[in-house]
Amino acid sequence: MLHRSGSFGAWFKLTIYQIKKHKLIYLMMAPFLIIFFIFTVLPVLQSIYYSFTDFNVLESPDWVGISNYKKLFLNDDIFKKAIQNTIMIAIFIGPLGYIFSYLLAWLINELPHKLGVLLTVIFYAPSMAGNLFYIFNLIFSSDSTGYLNGLLLKLGIIDEVVLWLQDENTMITIVIIVSLWMSLGVGFLSFIAGLKGVDPSQYEAGEIDGIKNRWQELWYITLPNMKPQLLFGAVMSITGSFSVGEVCNGLVGFPSPNYATHTIYNHLSDYGLIRMEMGYASAIAVVLFFLMIFANLLVQKFLRRVGT
Amino acid sequence: METFMKLKQRMRLLKINRTRRKSSRSLAGNIFLGIFLSLIAILFIMPILIVVNNAFKPMNEMFMFPPKLFVLHPTLNNFFDLFEMASNTLVPFTRYVFNTVLTVFFGAVGHIVIASMCAFPLAKYKFPGSKFIMNMIIFSLMFSTAVTQVPNFIIISRLHLLNSYGAIIFPAFGYSLGLYLMKNFMEQIPDALLEAAKIDGSSAFDVLWQVVMPLVKPAWVTAFILVFQQLWTNTGSSYIYDESLKGVGYMLSQLASGGITSGVRSGLGVARAGVFSATSLLMFIVPVCVFFITQSNVISTMATSGMKE
């Protein structure tokens, strides 16, 4: 016991010494951390507290323990449906969107600079203007003036219009397609910028070492050199794919017919922004939060194997 | 300073000598990937083409069967309608523009300065608490903003920032995404370069501004785009009541909707469909231009060139 407390004391002294040594660094970080704490950490902590209360925004919150969570997991069938939909969408959009955006960034990097910039703009454009996806309402519109229905009618493939956005079977596919279209976001940008930072002399060295084609070069040289960007892109695609919801609202309306595209995000904004049951909504947010952290752990484990 | 200057010079030389590598590329592969890339580009550009074309369509072409992708008789009427509506607003249009420029400029510059000062130590120094801080920043990206709105509102009102530019600018400073991005790029700067600067007696603060920031230009340019995007679409309308403090993005979206909510949501509202398409194009074209200008300026920087151990 004595020995252990002695080593604790030593550890404590060392920590204090290190903090003193890095005084300037702490000073440099202070402005950001203070603002980050006030505008991000504090609201999150507050919301976690709300998840254990009954809070209708007008009256002060009442402590109710874990009853919000109990209700969520035992008595809320729509939430079950929402979890299913969210995981289904995330499985499609997360990995697919991630690989897709890396592949495109990598191909763009081979092109001459100007053409590359043009393509970057084209691919990034959908996620730049937040509400551009409304255009898919015109494409998949359920009357004959919709682009897809109009085209299919003209070609004689269908005799009558298809209710793309009202049919439970086609709805979720369309939501996935549109989300994929929008998934080339920040992760894609960081891939583009990261590829420019790979040391060209490594490629030359690789050629001498017997790298035969572009795929080997990608796996053994490019990918291992971009681990920070790969991690960043992974976090981005996780947060993006698990919080799909606005696209569903914009395309099929809220609530979606028979909750066919109801996601956790939809469920959350339903309780938080419409029914004003902030305690319950916060509990949903906490569940979503842990789901994302879990996904992040899985992905990080996988990314560690890249290039080996 | 001498060692450092030498290294910098070497990097410049490498930049000039950079040659495109060829021998690992087969012709068949090039052709295949070229076709693949152009196919995807066409798929991606289709919806955008529709947005652009719709903005110039007269009313009767917008609801016609079979729908035409390209406009037959282009007209500027939609824009005239929009400008007429814009000139009749309570607050002059230039005021909205001023507000947007002001918040974007201070928000983005402040964010880049403050966040880079925090990102550099996190990327390159080991000190007590570094791991904890990093995890907190990453996890904060995963918490849904829909429920933090209420606490955020309370905090902003306690700080007496409600109904002021500060309600928009200060939260943008602490934007964790930009910090995370910059930190990742700073990690890739070779330690040798930083050691050289340290031997010359520069402090962490000097090293950041003189060595690191020029090297991670792609990162902070991207961070600028992110903040711009955030502020362009999110106008903080819940924190600001005064019409004279709101931005262009907010004003345009209000004009387009004109109280007909179905119009905003689906773009199918008949009455203002024309104005809506014109607005969509404007809302879209401004960020695209900003993005295009900034991206063209980011030519391959040499963050790691020739400096790997």
pLDDT (tens digit per residue) in A141-156: 777 777 888 888 888 7
Nearest CA among B186, B127, B139 for reference residue A27: B127
Per-residue pLDDT of A164-194, as tens digits, reads 787 877 888 888 888 888 888 888 888 888 8
- How big is chain B, counted in residues? 309
Buried b (16+ CB within 10 A) or exposed e, B186-216: bbbbbeebbebbbeeebebeebbeebbbebb
The residue among B280, B2, B245 whose CA lies nearest residue B100 is B245
Distance in angstroms (rounded) separating the CA atoms of residues A121 and A109: 13
CA distance B96 to B149: 24
What is the distance in angstroms between the Cα of A222 and the nearest Cα belonging to chain B? 13
pTM for this entry: 0.81
Mean pLDDT, chain A, whole residue set: 84
**Would you tell me how many other CB atoms lie within 10 Å of the CB of residue B73?**
9
d(CA A256, CA A240): 20
Tens digits of per-residue pLDDT, A159-170?
777 787 878 778
CA–CA dist A92, A281 (Å, integer): 26
| Residue A307: pLDDT over 70 | no
Please state the φ and ψ torsions of residue A307, each to the nearest 5 degrees: 80, 15
Extended strands (E) in chain A: 53-54, 62-63
Query: Which tens digits make up the pLDDT trace of A198-239?
Result: 777 778 788 788 777 888 888 888 888 888 888 889 988 888
Please report which confidence band the pLDDT of residue A69 belongs to, taking 50, 70 and 90 as the band edges. very high
Q: CA torsion sign, B95 to B96 to B101 to B102?
A: positive
Measured between CA atoms, how close is B76 to chain A, in angstroms? Answer: 20
Which segments of chain B does DSSP mark as H helices, in order?
2-17, 27-55, 59-62, 77-87, 93-124, 130-140, 145-158, 166-173, 176-186, 191-199, 204-207, 213-215, 217-233, 248-257, 261-266, 273-297
pLDDT of residue A51: 92
Residue B272 token pair: 């203002």
Give the DSSP H/E element, type plus range, for residue B67: none
- Whether A149 contacts A161, CB under 8 Å: yes
Question: From A264, which residue of chain B is nearest by alpha-carbon distance?
Answer: B144
Tell me: the pLDDT tens digits for A230-285? 888 998 888 888 888 878 877 877 777 888 888 898 898 888 888 888 899 999 99
Out of A228, A242, A269, whose CB is closest to B184? A228
Contact B304 A204 (CB under 8 A): no
Inter-CA distances, A72 with A88, A273, A286, B145, B192, Å: 20, 17, 11, 20, 53
Q: To 10 degrees, the CA torsion angle through B155, B161, B167, B169?
A: -120
Confidence band for A32, pLDDT divided at 50, 70 and 90: very high
- Residue B188: list chain A partners with CB under 8 A: 194, 197, 228
Could you say which of A134, A181, A282 has the minimum Cβ distance to residue B147? A282
Q: CB burial class (10 A; 0-12, 13-18, 19+) of residue A221?
A: buried
Q: Report how far apart, in Å, the C-alpha atoms of B266 and of each of A124, B273, B290 are.
A: 22, 10, 27
Which pLDDT belongs to residue A6? 63
Q: How many CB atoms lie within 10 A of CB A4?
A: 8
Residue A280 has what pLDDT? 92
Cβ-defined contact of A125 to B303 (cutoff 8 Å): no
Per-residue pLDDT of A86-135, as tens digits, reads 998 898 888 888 988 898 898 888 888 788 888 888 888 887 766 667 77
Q: With CB atoms and an 8 Å threshold, state whether A201 touches B305.
A: yes
Q: Is residue A139 over pLDDT 90?
A: no
| B contacts of A15 (beta carbons < 8 Å) | 128
Taking chain B (309 residues) in consecutive chunks of 10 residues, what is each chunk's mean pLDDT? Answer: 57 48 68 84 82 82 73 83 77 84 90 93 88 90 81 89 87 89 86 83 85 84 85 73 80 64 45 76 84 71 41
Region of B71 (left: φ > 0; alpha: ψ -120 to 50; beta: rest) is: beta
Q: Does B299 sit within 8 Å of A281, measured CB to CB?
A: no
Cβ(A104)–Cβ(A184) below 8 Å: yes
- The three-state secondary structure class of A62 is strand
How many CB atoms are closer than 10 A to CB B44?
18
pLDDT for A130: 61
Q: Rounded to whole angstroms, how far apart are CA atoms B237 and B252?
A: 13
Q: Quick check: B155 and A43 CB within 8 A?
A: yes
Query: A134 contacts in B (CB within 8 Å)?
Result: 265-267, 280
CA distances in angstroms from B288 to A96, A166, B86, listed in the order given? 25, 32, 22
Percentage of the residues of chain A whose pLDDT score is greater than 70: 96
Other Cβ atoms within 10 Å of B242 Cβ, number: 10
Q: Which residue has the tokens 């991206």?
A: B295
Nearest chain B residue to A214, by CA: B24
Q: Tokens for B171?
A: 């939260």
Residue type for B210, please?
Answer: Q
pLDDT at B8: 59
How do beta strands A53-54 and A62-63 pair? antiparallel
